[in-house]
């Protein structure tokens, strides 16, 4: 009976980590979307709000880290749970850094909003959407231990990389044609790179999920 | 007596993690230095070798991760040791990504070596040196739990950021003066950003070390 009580508490704790991670992921998705909106709609107030929002992400990072440490110290998790918790510790770091990238995008958006628009943004919002979806799916893959979904995230990274290269080529044409656009083009290029880095973080998470799932499978095979 | 034996084995395991991390850090330092050398000395063979070397870093990441998981599962570390191991898990990820940045630098170096030199590289090697030192000191700070050294690493980040901005401004002048330099200037700029990211990784490690040490201090204060 006591054992059952322990087990329920333990499950609740693992579930809390899971929920907090998804909450953090959701907030990061909003940051990606809002930082892009602040650029496309030339809304510097939204850019400011996005920059200010980042402290919530940092706060969640500390909170999840502490929860993971607490469970490790008090529950002595083994095998699958141990892998889950140590991976959660790594994933919060990626999520926190995605928040940093969104802050960087919002800062550049503010600067760009003070100058005449360079060109309508078409590919950047597509990149941002893809990156946000990758973050969501990487986290979903983690909480469900779904390596097929994680593999999809890794494959989607190519789409974002291709868009980034396309944007870079296009900006190059702008800069070569009219050197007065160079300063702005470099800022837009920077934003494109930030989005690429966000999708890299999502891919890193997805790769770790695959390793978590496959690692388990390999052990299972070896011990059976 | 048995307890003593256990304790010695445990210490040896923690020490192994420490040593492997320092080994990984040392190899990453070599990668930073070699990738820069391959650019400055226009040595594409060295660039190739640096790219190939990255698999050693990836291998060490997996090895250290597994060792940490094993210690967590079998030793049930508490307090200080628990923080040490979970931080080691996070640090290997940073080191592995520094390896990725070096690979990216080496790839760009190869491309740049095929074209006429843009200008002598003076600030980039200084950035690379600073970044490599930051990586070394961040790891030293970790293994010694030295928050003063970790703070120094965080402060040094500004030096690398300043150099990066200076390089970007200089490249801008190049591009504006002669659009035929734009393609090369963008590659050099990319390398500068890679070095900035490397120093960001070192700073992230240093920040985590400060949190590890201060976190402990705070608890100590609270429980005494």
Q: Taking CB atoms and an 8 Å limit, are A82 and B69 in contact across chains? A: yes
pLDDT greater than 50 at residue B82: yes
pLDDT score of B135: 98
Distance CA B48, CA A104 (A): 32
User: Which of A59-63, B4-8, B26-30, B124-128 shows the lowest per-residue confidence on average (mean pLDDT)?
Assistant: B4-8
Q: Say what the ipTM of the complex is.
A: 0.79
**Alpha carbons A168 and A36: distance in angstroms, whole number:** 17
Kindly list the residues from chain A whose CB atom is less than 8 angstroms away from the CB atom of residue B206.
none
Among A163-167, B75-79, B102-106, B203-207, the range with the most confident prediction by mean pLDDT is B102-106
B86 contacts A72? CB cut-off 8 A: yes
- Within 10 angstroms of residue A155's Cβ, the number of other Cβ atoms is 12
For A60, the token pair is 């969640």
> Does B223 score more than 60 pLDDT?
no
Task: Find chain A residues with C-beta within 8 A of B83's C-beta.
Answer: 69
Q: What is the pLDDT of residue B213?
A: 86
Q: Is B89 on the interface with A (CB under 8 A)?
A: yes
Task: Nearest chain B residue to A84 by CA: give it.
Answer: B69
Q: How confident is the model at residue A221 (pLDDT cuts 50, 70, 90)?
A: very low
Q: Say if the Cβ atoms of B182 and A176 lie within 8 Å.
A: yes
Asked if A86 lies within 8 A of B72 by C-beta distance, the reply is yes
With beta carbons less than 8 A apart as the criterion, state whether B212 and B145 touch. yes
Q: What is the DSSP letter of A43?
A: -
CA distances from A122 to A110, A131, A170, B77, B172 (A): 18, 15, 12, 52, 25
For residues A49 and A72, give the distance between their C-alpha atoms in angstroms, rounded to a whole number: 36
Q: What per-residue confidence (pLDDT) applies to A77?
A: 85
d(CA A216, CA A213): 5
CB A128 within 8 A of CB A33: yes
pLDDT of residue B221 exceeding 70: no
Q: Which residue has the higher pLDDT, B94 or B173?
A: B94
How distant is the Cα of B76 from the closest Cα of chain A, in angstroms? 6
Class of domain A2-223: mainly alpha
Q: Say what the pLDDT of residue A9 is.
A: 81
As a whole number of angstroms, the distance between CA B173 and CA B219 comes to: 53
Top pLDDT among A128 and B8 is at: A128
Average pLDDT over every residue of A127-145: 96
Name all contacts of B10-18 with Cβ < 8 Å and 24+ positions apart: B10/B71, B10/B75, B10/B77, B13/B67, B13/B70, B13/B71, B13/B75, B14/B71, B14/B81, B14/B84, B14/B85, B16/B67, B17/B64, B17/B67, B17/B68, B17/B71, B17/B84, B17/B85, B17/B88, B18/B143
Q: According to the model, what pLDDT value does residue B67 have? A: 94
CA angle A61, A67, A71 (to 5 degrees): 145
Q: What is the mean pLDDT of residues B100-112?
A: 97
Q: Are B149 and B137 in contact (CB under 8 A)?
A: yes
CB-based contact, A186 to chain B, within 8 Å: yes
The rounded percent of chain B whose pLDDT value lies above 90 is 73
Residue A62, C-beta contacts closer than 8 angstroms, at least 6 positions apart: none
B19-28, B43-52, B172-181: the lowest-pLDDT one: B172-181
What are the residue ranges spanned by the domains of chain B? 2-223
With tokens 């934003």, the residue in question is A191
Minimal C-alpha gap between B129 and chain A (Å): 24
Give the mean model confidence (pLDDT) for residues A187-216: 90
Mutate one of A69, A177, A178, A193 to test the B interface: name it (highest B CB count within 10 A): A69
Mean of the per-residue pLDDT values of chain B: 90
Q: Is A175 an 8 Å CB contact of chain B? A: yes
- The Cβ-side half-sphere exposure at A172, using a 13 Å CA radius, reads 14
């Amino acid at each position: 009976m006591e054992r059952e009580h322990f087990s329920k508490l333990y499950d609740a704790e693992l579930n809390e980590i899971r929920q907090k991670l998804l909450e953090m992921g959701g907030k990061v998705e909003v940051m990606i979307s809002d930082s892009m909106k602040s650029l496309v709609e030339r809304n510097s107030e939204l850019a400011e709000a996005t920059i200010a929002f980042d402290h919530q992400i940092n706060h969640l990072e500390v909170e999840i880290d502490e929860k993971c440490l607490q469970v490790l110290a008090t529950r002595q998790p083994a095998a699958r749970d141990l892998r889950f918790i140590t991976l959660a510790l790594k994933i919060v770091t990626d999520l926190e850094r995605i928040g940093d990238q969104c802050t960087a995008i919002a800062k550049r958006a503010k600067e760009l909003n003070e100058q005449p628009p360079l060109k309508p943004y078409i590919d950047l919002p597509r990149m941002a959407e893809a990156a946000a979806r990758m973050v969501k799916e990487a986290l979903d893959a983690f909480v469900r231990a779904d390596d097929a979904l994680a593999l999809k995230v890794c494959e989607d990274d190519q789409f974002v990389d291709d868009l980034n290269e396309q944007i870079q080529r296009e900006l190059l044409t702008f800069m070569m044609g009219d050197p007065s656009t160079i300063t702005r083009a470099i800022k837009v290029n920077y934003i494109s790179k930030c989005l690429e880095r966000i999708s890299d973080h999502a891919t890193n998470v997805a790769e770790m999920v695959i390793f978590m799932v496959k690692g388990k499978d390999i052990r299972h095979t070896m011990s059976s």
